[in-house]
Each structure stands twice: as C-alpha cells, then as structure tokens.
Amino acid sequence: MKTTLLLLTVLFLGSSLQAQNKQMESQGLVNIKSVDPSIKVALMYARSDNFCGRTLYADLHDAYMLPRCAKALKKAQAELKRRRPDLSLCIFDATRPMSIQQTMWDVVKNTPHYFYVSNPARGGGMHNYGMALDISLCKASWSEALWRPGSAPCRIDTIPMGTKVDHMGSRSHIDREETILTPAVIANRLLLREVMQAAGFMPIRTEWWHFNLCTRAWAKANLRVIK
C-alpha cells in the first residue's frame, strides 16, 4: 500500500512539473539547460528557505527565460569559463510568473523592505517578462544532484559574495561595497558583474545578484507578462 501511494505521488509530481514546463514553453520561454547545460540551476523559490519563508514554486524547478536572454547568458558563461574555468554561473531565479510576484509583494508591501520587490500593480519587474536573472557564482565541480526542492537544508558551493541571494539589507547593495565588504568579496562580485555585463546584462543598485537584459520601459512596450 505504501509503495503504491509513493508511486502515485511521484507520478503526480512528475505530471505537475511537465504541465508547468509546457506552460512556460507555450509563452515562448526556453529552459536554459537546452541552451547551455553547463549552467547550474538551484531555484531558491522552489524551497522554503527564502525571504517569504515558504515554497513558492511547487511545480517549477527549471530556469526558463526568453531565447534572447538565454543566448546572452550562454555568452556570460563562456566569458566566465575563459577567465575562471573552475567556476560556473548558478541561477537562483529566472522567469517569475506574475502570480508569484504578487505573493512576494504581499510579504513586503507594508515593510521597510518594500523596494526590493517590484509592485505587480505597476507592471512588476523584469523577472515577469523573462528578461531578468538572480544569479551567483559557484564551484564548477558542485553537483546539482545535491540540490533538492523542499525544506531540507541544502548547501550550494557558491563563492563568498558577502550575503546570501535575496538578503534584504545594505550589504546587498553594490554602490558602497568598499566600505562594508572585504576585498575578496568585492573581487568576486566584480567578476560576476563583469561577465554578465560583457553579455549585455545590467546590474541594479540594491541587489548584487540581480541582472536585467532590458529596461522596464522596453519590456512593457515590447513584451508580454508571463503568467
């Protein structure tokens, strides 16, 4: 009986994941693994240890984005490998459905941290158009097989960046790093920015891990919101 229930659960979860993947693909998005399988993926909102304190991506474990974004990210990975073959880009979030954006906004909207999450009522952010990434650097030797969705602790071999991805505080900002961070951490952040900017991505002031491939105005004029 237990074996049957376990099998049914696995089949149900697999079906849900496939449905979510098809939903993403139907909106013109691509799985980064189909473009560059060497890029690591560990979606932080498929786990509960994020700023919301719960799992938001129950049926999404792959990093989807518009083809233009995936092509640029492949270029960034190539530049990183040229400079540091021992490292890899690691995606913590990519395309984010607007429904998830609303959930995040509801968590921060009445707090001092409201500006870390784009307001859905104002069109959301670049994650909601498939043109933004939350990304860091990790050891190329780190195996994604060690990463699991859910609530169990999981260690990712990222190099020191001063804070974890999605930390809400001044140490996450990039405009005054030299006053609060060590030279080694600053060098690591600079490496990430350099390889991403070489591929056309733009950093933002308040989150060292966040990069956009276009402006908000261009996205709202030319792209559709991801559902």
Please indicate, yes or no, if residue 181 is contained in any of the structural domains: yes
Please indicate, yes or no, if residue 141 is contained in any of the structural domains: yes
Say what the pLDDT of residue 38 is.
98
Please indicate, yes or no, if residue 41 is contained in any of the structural domains: yes
Record the tokens describing residue 70, joined without a space.
Answer: 């995936």
Please indicate, yes or no, if residue 215 is contained in any of the structural domains: yes
Binding residue numbers for Zn(2+): 127, 134, 210
- Residue 32 pLDDT level (bands cut at 50, 70, 90): very high
Q: Which domain holds residue 42?
A: 2-222
Q: Is 108 helix (H, G, I), strand (E, B) or coil?
A: helix
Contact 76, 39 (CB under 8 A): no
Please indicate, yes or no, if residue 159 is contained in any of the structural domains: yes
Please indicate, yes or no, if residue 25 is contained in any of the structural domains: yes
Quick: pLDDT tens for 91-115: 999 999 999 999 999 999 999 999 9
Written as one letter, the residue type at 192 is L
Contact 29, 66 (CB under 8 A): yes
Say what the pLDDT of residue 150 is.
61
Which residues form the catalytic set?
A: 207
Please indicate, yes or no, if residue 144 is contained in any of the structural domains: yes
| Mean pLDDT, range 170-199, rounded to an integer | 97
- 172/175 Cα distance (integer angstroms): 9
Binding residue numbers: 127, 134, 210
Quick: pLDDT tens for 112-153: 999 999 999 999 999 999 999 999 999 999 988 777 766 556
Residues 6+ apart with CB under 8 A from 95: 24, 29, 63, 64, 65, 66, 127, 128, 130, 226
Please indicate, yes or no, if residue 227 is contained in any of the structural domains: no
- 224/227 Cα distance (integer angstroms): 9
Count of structural domains within the chain: 1
Its pTM stands at: 0.89
CATH number assigned to the domain comprising residue 87: 3.30.1380.10
